[in-house]
Amino acid sequence: MSRGLRLLILADTHVPKRAKDLPAQVWEHVAVADVVIHAGDWVTPDLLDELEQRAARLVAVWGNNDGEELRRRLPEVARVELGGMRWGVVHETGAKARREERMRAAYPDLDVLVFGHSHIPWDTEHEGLRLLNPGSPTDRRRQPYCTYLACTVAAGALDEVTLHRIGE
């Protein structure tokens, strides 16, 4: 029996404005992940170039802080099948209030939607749509820690969704 796909989920890296590079802990997860998902706000294409080289597979979108080159190279919304589940990735989902209902209506065909923008970790489910925001590994803003997510997915099920704090 397969162990499933190992996913690393990132957003709002803001390299090099908020950090010169991703933390070593994140690069260690990149090395073992089957898929890296990035929900935008790269700032410059340098990190995209490096993740394209180092990740086994990269699924990524652009965010509101990403310029012309990143918008040319990446979609605003990405859709992919992973482990028997239909995934979507987008940077912004709007206000927190009624987010689950709005995203279920906007993405009726998805099982999981990964988003960023707020730098606030999020993990909820509504009418069969799991919403995941990894926070930011480089810019915690008003959060107590910089964070990212890791999980496994196999046979149409999400498992072991873990919010990692940088430095722990």
From CA 131, how far away is CA 158, in angstroms rounded?
A: 12
- Location of structure tokens 């709007």: 94
List % helix, strand, coil for the chain (3-state, nearest 5). Answer: 20, 35, 45
pLDDT digits (tens, 9 = 90+) for 51-72: 999 999 999 999 999 999 999 9
- Distances in Å between the Cα of 78 and the Cα atoms of 70, 144, 164 are 14, 29, 24
Integer Cα distance of 6 and 128 in angstroms: 21
Which CATH class for the 5-165 domain? alpha beta
Q: What's the predicted TM-score (pTM) here? A: 0.96
What confidence score (pLDDT) does residue 1 get? Answer: 41
Token pair in block for residue 67? 């310029």
Domain ranges of the chain: 5-165
**How, if at all, do strands 77-82 and 85-90 pair?**
antiparallel
Residue 109, phi then psi, degrees to nearest 5: -95, 0
pLDDT tens track for 92-124: 999 999 999 999 999 999 999 999 999 999 999
Whether the CB-CB separation of 39 and 58 falls below 8 Å is answered with no
Checking if the pLDDT of 2 tops 60, the result is: no
